[in-house]
Structure 1
């Protein structure tokens, strides 16, 4: 690095560009993997699975939740906690019991904002089965519903016990720590992804549910499965690239953390921010 700098290959401008665009290393790495023939197939499969089996369900769940609490603020975890701590824990466990990981992401996000207790985190993570719930419901529905009910009960009990042993803000960053966090308002680049998501979300959800229920796409045509994988990989690469451009990545928080809410607030933009981060 020192030698390259001395002979002019690395200029102060290039150093500054790299320093301010650390996030771009991730999409760049993915592009390199796609360019290598021996890695291309496994990279496309991994990206497609990440989009259809995680990102799509996260976006749909967050969108439903944000619109629900707008019309029914009683569903907010902070409201439920003020009314009844046990009710907050139970609702968090219900969100976790839902198929997919969207419910868990909602509760974790609310915890970092100070809207949910630590017991709610324990409840949702105990109750969730993630995407495995889809496969279990598709193959053994009775056993799947039984396990989901057990997870709901166990998650609720664990959350109540944890809140009895620890303060609600246990392990949450203090106000002083939050005060020193860098504020990022990446609205312009996120808005570019909005029409893409509006076009892709419905067909992507249909494909995601078919994948979750183990449907063989080759029965619809010879190249159907391949086309779907390429589409999913392209969308995954798109979301990662948008996330990479959302901030300069000059601090640890900007590189690793989700972005702060835009100004003025927008449910769609917030859903996209959280989905891209996940």
Structure 2
């Protein structure tokens, strides 16, 4: 009897530990690579690049985005005009989709479920959105990121208007109102809530210093010398910060399925600005580190030139980008963007992926209106194929 009483809490703790360790796999692997002399230098370089070249820029961009989101009031007289005009609905949906991240797209999906927006608006927002991959692209190549956003905005509007002209305003509207999508709620244990608070404090203190150092690095300045630090200090510091961010992200949520792996963490309505910034930044950074490591380790261990190998399949790469874009969640799309930034795939493939991918918005769409989600995803892939191969034919 005593053993049974003792085993119950231990079993409960074991379940929680196993769930948490699914996210801890990557930090543990990184620690092992840092401990091994053969991979230490490569791992430090990847972690530092991910932090200074990506995470710092993503964090400052997200801070501005979330600050503006808090200031904007979505409940205004504009909603009245939206309800009565498919033309403005599609414009609104495309703009919301073009915003970096998945928040704008999720808003459009929930408004469609409530009967406030047309099905063409859903197609427009899913076509225009690039999800969290937009933050990565804007951080690494701002001009390309803005170009991609503008293409998504225009193609989204044209696609939405065409779909509404064919199907009408009430096509596939759910017959009843649904509850809010689970991605907008927050359920966490005390330990997870503590990890979220620590993430917020982490970026609250590091946001400005990391952005300054990142900009200095972008201008090819010797940050170690300017800050009177030993050679290589900034690289080691960046690797430490990247690993710390990943550990905090790993402890902030259990993995219970595919969605928890590839999508942003749900956020509490009471979450502070920096907690929201930290959750999204650390998610993007973790996937970027995973992508960078896959690329660099493969090159180091096998000598395989991925870019050269894929060049033989260049005509199929736009199609591959579109097909991968159909996978729900932002994680796979961040991988594609990382491969583009490494020169492994051409811009046409990145363009096809950006237009076909629906980010995290596909999860609430599948939950609340599965038929509409499926058809809208298929519809958004058609202009993605057209634009990707048009760019490939005329410019590549």
What TM bracket, shorter-length normalisation? 0.5 to 0.7
Gapped regions of structure 1 (runs ≥ 5): 1-10, 96-103, 135-143, 169-173
User: 1:160 is matched with which residue: 120, 143, 157?
Assistant: 157
1:130 partnered with 2:138: yes
Contact 2:128–2:153 (CA<8 Å) still a contact in 1? yes
1:213 partnered with 2:219: yes
**Residues 224 and 182 (structure 1), Cα distance of their counterparts in 2 relative to 1, 3 Å cut:** same
User: Structure 2-normalised TM-score?
Assistant: 0.50
**Residues 80 and 65 (structure 1), Cα distance of their counterparts in 2 relative to 1, 3 Å cut:** farther
Q: What corresponds to 1:273 in structure 2?
A: 279
Alpha-carbon distance in 2 for matches of 1:47, 1:239: 11
User: How large is the Cα RMSD of the aligned pairs?
Assistant: 4.1
Q: Secondary structure at the match of 1:21?
A: helix
Q: What corresponds to 2:118 in structure 1?
A: none
**Residues 118 and 251 (structure 1), Cα distance of their counterparts in 2 relative to 1, 3 Å cut:** same
Cα drift, residue 227 of structure 1: 1.0
More relative contact order, 1 or 2 (CA 8 Å, 6+ apart): 1
Alpha-carbon distance in 2 for matches of 1:225, 1:265: 39
Alpha-carbon distance in 1 for matches of 2:245, 2:81: 34
1:46 partnered with 2:46: yes
Contact 2:185–2:266 (CA<8 Å) still a contact in 1? no
**Residues 208 and 224 (structure 1), Cα distance of their counterparts in 2 relative to 1, 3 Å cut:** farther
Q: What corresponds to 1:110 in structure 2?
A: 104
Q: Secondary structure at the match of 1:238?
A: helix
Q: What corresponds to 1:55 in structure 2?
A: 55
Q: Secondary structure at the match of 1:200?
A: helix
Cα drift, residue 196 of structure 1: 2.6
Q: Secondary structure at the match of 2:141?
A: helix
Q: Which moved more, 1:219-228 or 1:42-51?
A: 219-228
**Residues 192 and 132 (structure 1), Cα distance of their counterparts in 2 relative to 1, 3 Å cut:** closer
1:184 partnered with 2:190: no
Alpha-carbon distance in 2 for matches of 1:254, 1:219: 42
Cα drift, residue 262 of structure 1: 1.9
Q: Secondary structure at the match of 1:248?
A: coil
Q: Deviations over 1:53-100 (max 9, x none)?
A: 222222222221222232233699x9699383325535765x5xxxxx
Q: Which moved more, 1:82-91 or 1:268-277?
A: 82-91
Task: Within 5 Å, give how 1:1-278 maps onto structure 2.
Answer: 16=15, 17-73=17-73, 82=82, 84=88, 85-86=90-91, 89-90=94-95, 93=98, 104-105=100-101, 108-113=102-107, 114=109, 117-123=122-128, 125=130, 130-133=138-141, 154-166=151-163, 178=181, 184-185=187-188, 186-217=192-223, 220=226, 226-278=232-284
Cα drift, residue 234 of structure 1: 1.0
**Residues 117 and 43 (structure 1), Cα distance of their counterparts in 2 relative to 1, 3 Å cut:** farther
Q: Secondary structure at the match of 2:232?
A: helix
Contact 2:58–2:139 (CA<8 Å) still a contact in 1? no
